[in-house]
Amino acid sequence: MYETLKSVQQEYVFSGATKSSSFRKQQLTKLREMLTQHEDDLLKAVNKDLNKQKTEAFMTELGNVYQEISHAIDSLDEWMEPIKVKTPVSHTGSKSYILSEPYGSVLIIAPWNYPIQLTFSPLVGALAAGNCAVIKPSELTPHTSSAIAAAVRATFPQELVTVVEGDAKTAEALLDQPFDYIFFTGSVAVGKIVMRKAAEHLTPHTLELGGKSPAIVTEDAKLDLAAKRIAWGKFTNAGQTCIAPDYVLVDENVYKKFMKKLQDHAYSMFSDRTKNGTYTQIVNEKHYDRLYQYLGNGSVALGGQYSREDRLISPTILTDVEWDAPIMQEEIFGPILPIFTYKTSAEALMRVRSLPNPLALYVFSEKEQTQQLFTEQLSFGGGCINDTIMHVANPYLPFGGKGPSGIGAYHGYESFRTFSHQKGMLKQTTKFDMPLRYKQGKLANKMIRNVFK
């Protein structure tokens, strides 16, 4: 069944139907209209799955996608233009350029933590590049998955965009097919499986994974603002964000002041929502049980309340955590934030480097020299200076990981590039023919060497 679906989509691309700028813009416009028309259904669905409230859900699920669509429509003609490049003297008479062509039928495997945004944001790039797409939403958010499927089926023909619902076995069956491109967002463990499957067909792929993303608070940082922005970035969506601050390194000289402000801001922003039942839920019992075990990995400085029945863990700050504790061995992906101190910048650099490259890094400092030290001396996917997670919402910035935190990037032009094969082209003149390349002998050898050197 999936083989037939993939073949139908590939034939649709081969027909040339998706190649024109006007067609692609039309599909992006249809996508925007679809999201607008089905917005209430999608927001209600994500509320049923994760208890996300309407304002937060719109901002973190749909707002970014609307921005991506508008940016793509406005920029598509420019993106599709052949890119002229220089031609060396050895190729006198010719012109060189790069053409972007769609891969064909692409497979998009979306996660559960932002099930709307992380389904449709890659789709924007796929459609802008002229591809067809098979979407596999997460079975862990079944209401949202069904709402996505219903919206897509009511909007797009199957040969252009279709949704396949199902569990891990469905994803595995899809990965057995030789799609032209695979875009996966999820855990490192599953990302490795996707990569192995892609290797069987030599399928190009993008992996958006995660990791332990640090926030570094220096002595000269504006502590109140740092605490406020870290608390918001960490505890939004119950910490189930791949680029949420995973732990904080704070200069020991301002530790006490920072901790007081962090506790105050976390409490003021989220305590009422925890009490009145409007705080985002942990996705399922399995993830809840994993996070519950982490609560014993340190001293609770704030929060620590929990309810397995409601899949709720309140925003929690931990101190006295050991670096080799279980909570520091994998991405937390929940509303628990360990706090560490450091004495010197060298120590902070060493601590971050002791862990795999993170997907994001956040530096809070008023000194440009300090900002440059951490952003230039550490390897990470992307990040912010004096803020958290806001870089992901800028369609003009590439978003992606490095090594264990991901392969490839997307958003804006990077999405177009990700879903396009770049063909290098040389157009040779027919007005004359350089005879040198056909010659043999010592003189020809000398002349050829002079040309290429």
The DSSP result for 298-310, as a single string, is SEEEE---EETTT
Is 242 assigned a catalytic role?
yes
**Residue 50 gets which letter from DSSP?**
H
- Distance between CA 106 and CA 39 in Å, rounded? 25
C-alpha closest to that of 68 among 145, 122, 130, 132: 122
- Distance between CA 157 and CA 159 in Å, rounded? 5
**145 φ, ψ to 5°?**
-60, -45
Q: What is the 3-state secondary structure (H, E, C) of 205-262?
A: EEEECCCCCEEEECCCCCHHHHHHHHHHHHHHHHHCCCCCCCEEEEEHHHHHHHHHHH
Is 208 assigned a catalytic role?
yes
Selected catalytic residue, list 56, 159, 242, 384 = 242
**209 φ, ψ to 5°?**
-110, -120
- Distance between CA 235 and CA 129 in Å, rounded? 35
Selected catalytic residue, list 39, 56, 159, 208 = 208
**Residue 153 gets which letter from DSSP?**
H
Write down the residue that tokens 């990965």 correspond to: 175
Beta strands in 305-375 (DSSP E): 306-307, 312-313, 316-319, 336-342, 360-364
SS3 55: helix
Burial 167-181 (b: 16+ CB within 10 A, else e): eeeebeebbebebbb
Q: Taking a C-beta distance cutoff of 8 angstroms, is the pair 138, 165 a contact? A: no
Residue 425 bridge partners (DSSP):
97
94: left (phi over 0), alpha (psi -120 to 50) or beta: beta
C-alpha closest to that of 238 among 405, 64, 113: 113
**Angle, CA of 112, 118 and 121, to the nearest 5°:** 165
- Give me the active site residues, please: 208, 242
